[in-house]
C-alpha cells in the first residue's frame, strides 16, 4: 500500500521544487542516479519516448511524484512502533 501524501508534505515538496525548478530537477537527477538508478533510467526513458511531449515537464512530474512518495514513506516509517 502506498503512503498517504498529506497537504503538509505536498507544500514542503512544492516549496522546495518551485524555488528554482531547473536546479531542483537537475539535483533530483543526480540524487536518483545514486539513490535509485533504475527509477531514474525509467523516468528518462519515458521522457524521451514521445517526441510530442516536453521531456523536462515529464521528468519534473516524475521526480515530484518520487519525492512526495519518498517523504510520505519516511513519515509513515517514523510513526511505526517497534514491539
Whole-number Å distance between alpha carbons of 40 and 45: 9
Task: Return the closest-CA partner of residue 17 out of 77, 64, 74.
Answer: 64
Residue 53 or residue 43, greater confidence:
43
Our measurement of the distance from residue 34's CA atom to the centroid of its chain's CA atoms, rounded to an integer in Å, reads 14
d(CA 71, CA 56): 22
pLDDT one-digit tens code per residue, 59-75: 899 999 999 999 999 98
Domain extents in the chain: 7-78
- Average of pLDDT values for 28-47? 89
Mean pLDDT of 39-44: 88
Amino acid at each position: 500500500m502506498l503512503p498517504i501524501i498529506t497537504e503538509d508534505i505536498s507544500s514542503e515538496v512544492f516549496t522546495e521544487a518551485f524555488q528554482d525548478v531547473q536546479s531542483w530537477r537537475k539535483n533530483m537527477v543526480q540524487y536518483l542516479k545514486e539513490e535509485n538508478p533504475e527509477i531514474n533510467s525509467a523516468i528518462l526513458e519515458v521522457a524521451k519516448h514521445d517526441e510530442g511531449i516536453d521531456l523536462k515537464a515529464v521528468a519534473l512530474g516524475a521526480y515530484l511524484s518520487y519525492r512526495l512518495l519518498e517523504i510520505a514513506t519516511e513519515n509513515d516509517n517514523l510513526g511505526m512502533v517497534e514491539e
